[in-house]
Structure 1
């Protein structure tokens, strides 16, 4: 059986394509750099993170973007030997406006090199490039309307894209305003048996989320709605293990079977409905009815936690190692930095071989130049261990292990210096933007310090040690729900990360050296 989610942890807005015998999924990365994560599979069951195409500032500048801004809902497509990737960079998302910029990049191979971006438009987000069989190309996106007494999600628009001129041409056409579910977004277009099929997300990314199918005999419509919409949702099943199901993308296998990938969230079992792992990607087999509509192969509208394996030849990948020894010349594909690329001015794997050196910069609330490198938390039960050498001389210098949602919500086990305590450990909590230091301060000697975080569903416990063998608990048990996208009804879209960081608020860039990083998932 295939167990959902297939892409665990923060991996939302999946866009899937097949090129011969290879399957690729692109997912959103928001404020994390490099932009867009592309995953690879040959059997739709075993997946590996493969590449991150937006890897330089000339393609993507995230400095100053708000949390849960940046990359929204990228879409992959392929035509005549070229890969296309559409993406949005949301630089402002507060109030009624959405300040955003939409681009497209291309590459001869999924692993690049990816081109410099072509600017598309700024009318909305969730762009999808459809390659028609007559050679013409059309861009679809939702339209944002900020005006009073108007629907913010103002329908799906389309416009022709000319690759030779590198721009959109011709009229802009509104092709659907969506259904009564509202919040119509995420358009994906497919052509089959004389119909153009439009798959959209509706209902918002929370409990009312859904995916709806429409069709037309002309690419510009009019589009009729599936009479039994939505196609998938958990809006009426609040206890389903895969909540918030919607925002789908379709693929046909080389054997002629059809599958849909879609967003979902796994809530904590404490009844809070909070999902610190973020929005994940799951898979369902779908079938066509005699009338030409899609249905879940298992029946009904709710996704299945387990589905039968595909008939494709199994192709497992080697498991990721638990330990990263920082022996390579560059960071692995699992690591992201916050808003800015990793460069030798603040992050080095060569200045002290076998160590990750971070030079302290701005605070954990900065939207510009943080020295933070992190990876997704992908399991409710996991342990993270690192070892750091760091000798701060002032309270303005800090380094350590952080469990991070955004600048407003994070837990930080950090080393710093105090006039009375000297070098010491403490836990910093930022809860909805309210800074606190827990009343647990532990003086520590010069030299190596081992730091650990253990997550067990809704509980997080920090530990420390001086020899890497014996551990002392540090501070109280903390609540993992604080790292969820809907914590305290906040409207955010990412997921919990765990990472290494350093700050120097004196501006002297004192460095911290991290010897290794262990990420180990534990069977619950």
Structure 2
């Protein structure tokens, strides 16, 4: 037996889809507007996970330009037919509207971390697709969306047979189940003459859960279990909240486990906030006398420590990903269609970013970032740049989305005491560090620090320390950390702040902006992100 500690993949790893292929377990997770698309992790023992690659080319044209925050690639479902991996997923281009504007795609690969086939479009009833392989036949599960006035956005689970070669629909689409409670994320498995439908229930927030249904016939009718398989909604004191979106897998010895998403909230005066986003967890299962799956511990609450029926295995070296110019764990927003803005060859040991749109752009923001995985973290980087106008900036960011970020940037400002009139072309001015806080309906200049005397044309080290709900920015002067501005509310960079749907997680990284010429460059070195 192996003792694992949840979450097993920490920090922004939502909607995990678990599959076993031989001695390896693989998990694919949602990437939303971020690239690389559909990260895949692998493990031999379910406790120690390592990055194994991603589904390269999942988005046609390698571009999600223009998609809204928390749009993009939703809920990939990974499967293995004994010869190759399949992944089916949705690209969602509208969020918070009656129309999700969904395109559903499928891709295959002989190795999870290898080359994936070009995506092929499938019937797109709604998001959260999954494939079911059954006695040589291939079936597509999906959520049905009714966009009409008075319609239900979550209008039931449907099933369509696909031709294994053409991937076109075969016969009619079958409605498997409708329920007054929100259900999505369908998965199917077959056991002891029953077809078991595994469902995400209650949305992705604190009401989330896993509910199962079963039928003797693939196309139904399906009987719902009278209790949840997994949820934390009835106990806000549990350390793992938002537990839901499950998938069941059988081990080589015939035991069962389940992957699911979860979140670790921070308490705040305004309620719990999950700055790390939704993460991946594993639970051990059993089956009751009536043939329903149950958590091994006997209730429906997610456990932090779980014994799973595997032998402990040490992590192996991470799979190299030579197709990524900067490589995991770096991520960037909305595409690789134009990679020229990030250059690692111009100056060995440095990353050169060419500024493009501002940080609220959904098209061409030059940002590289890494996932924050714990409630205490520290990031620092050395930057060398000489902005000549207020339209140029480069620095260190804590990022959630275009409406929630904190940025400490080298930029330009008028001479001290001069009115802000934007006449930088007249010469003069000074290099400053500007600390900016962006939240849903406002952007605030928190602090401005003149750094000409310490910066000149040389490098400057910037940093930020996150301690639970607070973020404190600083720069290094004479080997000493000098604070910039007051502590800021890091919990605004969470799933739970604001009035709009949020599905990702907080990141730390570097960016560059040039609103006029897209030619200004900034060099970065020594980036460090430590989480504990």
- For Structure 1 versus Structure 2, the TM-score category normalised by the shorter chain is over 0.9
1:398 aligns with 2:393: yes
Query: Which residue number corresponds to residue 207 of structure 2?
Result: 208
Higher mean alpha-carbon deviation, 270-279 vs 371-380, is at 270-279
The answer to whether the Cα contact below 8 Å between 1:34 and 1:56 also exists between their aligned partners in 2 is no
Query: Which residue number corresponds to residue 152 of structure 1?
Result: 153
Query: Which residue number corresponds to residue 92 of structure 2?
Result: 90
Name which of 506, 511, 514 aligns with 1:504: 514
Secondary structure of 2:491 counterpart: helix
CA distance in 2, matches of 1:45, 1:127: 27
CA distance in 2, matches of 1:451, 1:308: 42
Secondary structure of 2:42 counterpart: strand
Query: Which residue number corresponds to residue 12 of structure 1?
Result: 14
Query: Which residue number corresponds to residue 340 of structure 1?
Result: 335
Higher mean alpha-carbon deviation, 480-489 vs 438-447, is at 438-447
1:413 aligns with 2:376: no
Q: CA deviation at 1:60?
A: 4.5
The answer to whether the Cα contact below 8 Å between 2:38 and 2:76 also exists between their aligned partners in 1 is yes
Counterparts of 1:246-265 in structure 2 under 5 Å? Answer: 246-265=244-263
The answer to whether the Cα contact below 8 Å between 1:57 and 1:341 also exists between their aligned partners in 2 is no
The answer to whether the Cα contact below 8 Å between 2:473 and 2:485 also exists between their aligned partners in 1 is yes
CA distance in 2, matches of 1:329, 1:5: 27
1:461 aligns with 2:458: no
**C-alpha deviations, 1:127-153, integer Å up to 9, x for none?**
0000002x0100001111122233220
The answer to whether the Cα contact below 8 Å between 1:17 and 1:78 also exists between their aligned partners in 2 is yes
The answer to whether the Cα contact below 8 Å between 2:28 and 2:38 also exists between their aligned partners in 1 is yes
Q: CA deviation at 1:168?
A: 2.2
1:267 aligns with 2:277: no
CA distance in 2, matches of 1:298, 1:10: 26
From the superposition, tell whether residues 20 and 373 of structure 1 become closer, same or farther in structure 2 (CA, over 3 Å): same
Secondary structure of 2:379 counterpart: strand
Secondary structure of 2:447 counterpart: coil
1:243 aligns with 2:279: no
CA distance in 1, matches of 2:395, 2:202: 40
- Equivalences, count: 511
CA distance in 2, matches of 1:357, 1:466: 23
Q: CA deviation at 1:7?
A: 1.1
Query: Which residue number corresponds to residue 123 of structure 1?
Result: 125
Q: CA deviation at 1:446?
A: 2.2
Secondary structure of 1:488 counterpart: coil
**C-alpha deviations, 1:264-292, integer Å up to 9, x for none?**
11110335211010011111101011211
From the superposition, tell whether residues 256 and 208 of structure 1 become closer, same or farther in structure 2 (CA, over 3 Å): same
From the superposition, tell whether residues 216 and 57 of structure 1 become closer, same or farther in structure 2 (CA, over 3 Å): closer
Query: Which residue number corresponds to residue 426 of structure 1?
Result: 434
Query: Which residue number corresponds to residue 23 of structure 1?
Result: 25
Q: CA deviation at 1:219?
A: 1.3
CA RMSD of aligned residues (A): 1.9
From the superposition, tell whether residues 169 and 405 of structure 1 become closer, same or farther in structure 2 (CA, over 3 Å): same
Query: Which residue number corresponds to residue 449 of structure 1?
Result: 460
Q: CA deviation at 1:81?
A: 1.0
Query: Which residue number corresponds to residue 384 of structure 1?
Result: 379
**C-alpha deviations, 1:264-321, integer Å up to 9, x for none?**
111103352110100111111010112111110011111111112543242334699x
From the superposition, tell whether residues 309 and 164 of structure 1 become closer, same or farther in structure 2 (CA, over 3 Å): closer
The answer to whether the Cα contact below 8 Å between 1:210 and 1:244 also exists between their aligned partners in 2 is yes
Higher mean alpha-carbon deviation, 210-219 vs 265-274, is at 265-274
The answer to whether the Cα contact below 8 Å between 1:55 and 1:341 also exists between their aligned partners in 2 is no
1:297 aligns with 2:296: yes
Counterparts of 1:101-120 in structure 2 under 5 Å? Answer: 101-120=103-122
1:482 aligns with 2:492: yes
Query: Which residue number corresponds to residue 69 of structure 1?
Result: 71
The answer to whether the Cα contact below 8 Å between 2:160 and 2:170 also exists between their aligned partners in 1 is yes
The answer to whether the Cα contact below 8 Å between 1:448 and 1:466 also exists between their aligned partners in 2 is no
**C-alpha deviations, 1:93-124, integer Å up to 9, x for none?**
23222111000011111112101111012220
The answer to whether the Cα contact below 8 Å between 1:56 and 1:341 also exists between their aligned partners in 2 is no
Q: CA deviation at 1:170?
A: 1.5
CA distance in 2, matches of 1:58, 1:146: 25
Q: CA deviation at 1:345?
A: 1.6
Name which of 334, 340, 349 aligns with 2:344: 349
CA distance in 1, matches of 2:266, 2:57: 33
**C-alpha deviations, 1:213-254, integer Å up to 9, x for none?**
111112111111123x21111111011111111110111111
From the superposition, tell whether residues 254 and 268 of structure 1 become closer, same or farther in structure 2 (CA, over 3 Å): same
Query: Which residue number corresponds to residue 440 of structure 1?
Result: 448
From the superposition, tell whether residues 207 and 492 of structure 1 become closer, same or farther in structure 2 (CA, over 3 Å): same
1:494 aligns with 2:504: yes
Query: Which residue number corresponds to residue 324 of structure 1?
Result: none
Query: Which residue number corresponds to residue 224 of structure 1?
Result: 223
Q: CA deviation at 1:471?
A: 1.0
Name which of 23, 38, 56 aligns with 1:54: 56
Normalising by structure 2, we get a TM-score of: 0.93
Query: Which residue number corresponds to residue 323 of structure 1?
Result: none
Query: Which residue number corresponds to residue 314 of structure 2?
Result: 315
Query: Which residue number corresponds to residue 166 of structure 1?
Result: 167
Query: Which residue number corresponds to residue 422 of structure 2?
Result: none
CA distance in 2, matches of 1:42, 1:205: 28
Normalising by structure 1, we get a TM-score of: 0.94
The answer to whether the Cα contact below 8 Å between 1:119 and 1:167 also exists between their aligned partners in 2 is no
**C-alpha deviations, 1:57-86, integer Å up to 9, x for none?**
536431110000001100000113111010
CA distance in 2, matches of 1:503, 1:210: 41
Counterparts of 1:361-380 in structure 2 under 5 Å? Answer: 361-380=356-375
CA distance in 2, matches of 1:392, 1:287: 61
CA distance in 2, matches of 1:376, 1:75: 22
The answer to whether the Cα contact below 8 Å between 1:329 and 1:350 also exists between their aligned partners in 2 is no
Q: CA deviation at 1:174?
A: 0.5
Secondary structure of 1:92 counterpart: coil
CA distance in 2, matches of 1:17, 1:59: 28
CA distance in 1, matches of 2:330, 2:302: 30
